[in-house]
């Protein structure tokens, strides 16, 4: 008599999946980077968010087809491996996803230590960021059950904060407050096209997260149907919320103030005719930023752990704490990198590094879906129109290029992070060969 190996249960329904996608997208991006995007384009803050939404939707078509075709929990690394069969390329894609989580957490930590925290206590930004990382690490170390429960609560809180901003905007329109005409003003430093391009590269950070949901493929009910609807529905909901928030921000606060604030949405609350306690909103923003960091550090530490268990990186990263049952070595490794990033980068630079790493991954995913058309499967699934992943790949490559105005330090940081992965790969390869000899 043979026994089947235990498998993940398909318990996630369509509505829960939709909520997960929305919750994964909403977060630190809009709370921290709205001002940085405004600095790229001027008053028309909503335009880069709209363009970023369209580009994200193009790549989402590739993910929707691939997750329906291969409903397994591995995401971009799985698709890359199936399309090209090159282990090193698969590793680099997986490591780029991992490092994007760490840089995103670093950006969130810097945002935490800025204007929002200053409503309660005055600390140097780096000090506040490091204290914040320590708290996130403790929650991560406490256990996955505790972390997920905290994540659910924080997701509801961060969504409420954005709805408060939208309510402020609606009230301002009804009472004649603010200056809606400012939403049509372009004041880019490098011209309209390059300004929108640079703003889009930053705004893209706020829409990241939709790709994470594919890791739930083995636990979703009817993934072939539920995932495309959840992906596009979640992106649409988040996109509408972001456009409304961006319009409200630029209508009520001048571009210069937004540009120079690390807490741009707090500036909106402070000038709103509809009164809302600034300290309460600052607390909501801090929790939203915390949720982004927690999600990313959870993902990064588990990816390192998974790679160690598969023998891809040194096995020491697969060590689990005996009482907490958490991958403590992987957690320490990812946090150590995050600490270095926090001490050497700013919010915009770290967010841009996150975007750069994932744009490289998205380019490969868009190409993979076309390559894998040669490998049909025996079940129905979503088929992306050919033009969508083609345009998605082209758009990602354009946003990778320096014409967006991205600083050289962002490219250097991304290369160093990937070099760490190459080093781990090489060390593990040498160790494996010695153990076999």
Which pLDDT tens digit goes with each residue over 186-241?
777 666 777 888 888 888 888 887 777 666 555 566 667 778 888 888 899 989 99
Choice between 307 and 331, residue whose per-residue pLDDT is larger: 331
pTM of the predicted model over 0.85:
yes
Rounded Cα gap, residues 429 and 437, in angstroms: 13
Q: Determine what percent of the chain is predicted with pLDDT higher than 70.
A: 89
Start-to-end CA span in the chain (Å): 37
85 Cβ neighbours under 8 A, 6+ residues apart: none
pLDDT surpasses 70 at 177: yes
Q: Is 325 exposed, middle or buried (0-12, 13-18, 19+ CB in 10 A)?
A: exposed
Q: Determine what percent of the chain is predicted with pLDDT higher than 90.
A: 28
Q: What length is written for the chain?
A: 437
Q: What is the residue extent of each domain of the chain?
A: 14-375+385-431
Query: 66-79: buried (b, 16+ CB within 10 Å) or exposed (e) per residue?
Result: bbbbbbbebbbbbb
What's the pLDDT at 5? 42
Choice between 278 and 1, residue whose per-residue pLDDT is larger: 278
pLDDT surpasses 70 at 145: no
What's the pLDDT at 364? 96
Q: Which tens digit of pLDDT belongs to each residue from 160-171? A: 999 999 999 999
* Residue with the two structure tokens 């590739």: 62
Q: Which tens digit of pLDDT belongs to each residue from 346-379? A: 888 999 999 999 999 999 999 999 999 988 877 7
Rounded Cα gap, residues 186 and 45, in angstroms: 9
Mean predicted lDDT score pLDDT of the chain: 83
What's the pLDDT at 366? 96
Whether residue 84 contacts residue 93, with contact meaning beta carbons closer than 8 Å, is answered with: no
pLDDT surpasses 90 at 300: no
Tell the CATH topology of 14-375+385-431: Amino acid/polyamine transporter I (1.20.1740)
Choice between 114 and 432, residue whose per-residue pLDDT is larger: 114
Q: Which of 285, 291, 303 lies closest to 100 in space, CA to CA? A: 303
Choice between 126 and 301, residue whose per-residue pLDDT is larger: 126
Q: What is the CA radius of gyration of the chain?
A: 21
Q: Which tens digit of pLDDT belongs to each residue from 236-292? A: 998 999 999 999 999 999 888 888 887 889 999 988 877 889 899 999 988 888 878
């Amino acid at each position: 008599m043979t026994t089947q190996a235990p498998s993940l249960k398909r318990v996630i329904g369509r509505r829960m999946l939709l909520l997960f996608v929305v919750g994964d997208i909403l977060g630190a991006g809009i709370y921290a980077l709205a001002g940085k995007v405004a600095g790229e384009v001027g008053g028309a803050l909503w335009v880069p968010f709209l363009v970023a939404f369209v580009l994200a939707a193009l790549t989402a078509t590739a993910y929707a087809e691939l997750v329906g075709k291969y409903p397994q929990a591995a995401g971009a690394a799985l698709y890359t491996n199936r399309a090209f069969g090159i282990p090193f390329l698969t590793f680099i894609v997986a490591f780029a996803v991992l490092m994007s989580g760490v840089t995103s957490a670093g950006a969130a930590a810097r945002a935490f230590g800025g204007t929002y925290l200053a409503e309660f206590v005055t600390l140097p930004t780096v000090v506040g960021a490091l204290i914040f990382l320590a708290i996130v690490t403790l929650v991560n170390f406490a256990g996955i059950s505790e972390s997920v429960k905290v994540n659910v609560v924080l997701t509801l809180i961060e969504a409420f904060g954005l709805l408060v901003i939208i309510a402020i905007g609606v009230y301002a329109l009804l009472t004649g407050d603010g200056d809606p005409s400012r939403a049509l003003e372009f004041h880019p430093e490098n011209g309209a096209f390059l300004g929108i391009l640079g703003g889009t590269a930053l705004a893209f950070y706020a829409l990241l997260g939709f790709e994470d949901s594919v890791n739930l493929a083995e636990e979703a009910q009817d993934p072939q149907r539920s995932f495309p609807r959840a992906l596009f529905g979640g992106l649409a909901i988040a996109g509408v919320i972001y456009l409304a928030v961006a319009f409200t921000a630029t209508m009520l606060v001048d571009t210069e103030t937004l540009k120079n604030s690390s807490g741009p949405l707090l500036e909106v609350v402070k000038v709103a005719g509809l009164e809302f306690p600034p300290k309460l909103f600052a607390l909501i923003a801090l929790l939203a930023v915390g949720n982004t960091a927690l999600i990313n550090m959870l993902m990064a530490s588990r990816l390192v752990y998974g790679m160690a268990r598969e023998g891809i990186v040194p096995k020491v990263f697969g060590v689990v704490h005996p009482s907490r049952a958490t991958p403590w070595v992987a957690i320490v490794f990812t946090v150590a990198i995050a600490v270095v990033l926090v001490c050497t980068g700013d919010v915009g630079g770290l967010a841009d590094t996150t975007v750069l790493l994932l744009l490289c991954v998205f380019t490969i995913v868009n190409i993979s879906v076309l390559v894998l058309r040669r490998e049909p499967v025996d079940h129905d699934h979503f088929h992306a129109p050919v033009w969508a992943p083609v345009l998605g790949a082209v758009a990602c490559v354009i946003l990778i290029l320096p014409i967006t105005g991205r600083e050289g330090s962002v490219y250097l940081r991304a290369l160093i992070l990937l070099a760490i992965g190459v080093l781990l790969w090489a060390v593990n390869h040498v160790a494996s060969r010695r153990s076999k000899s």
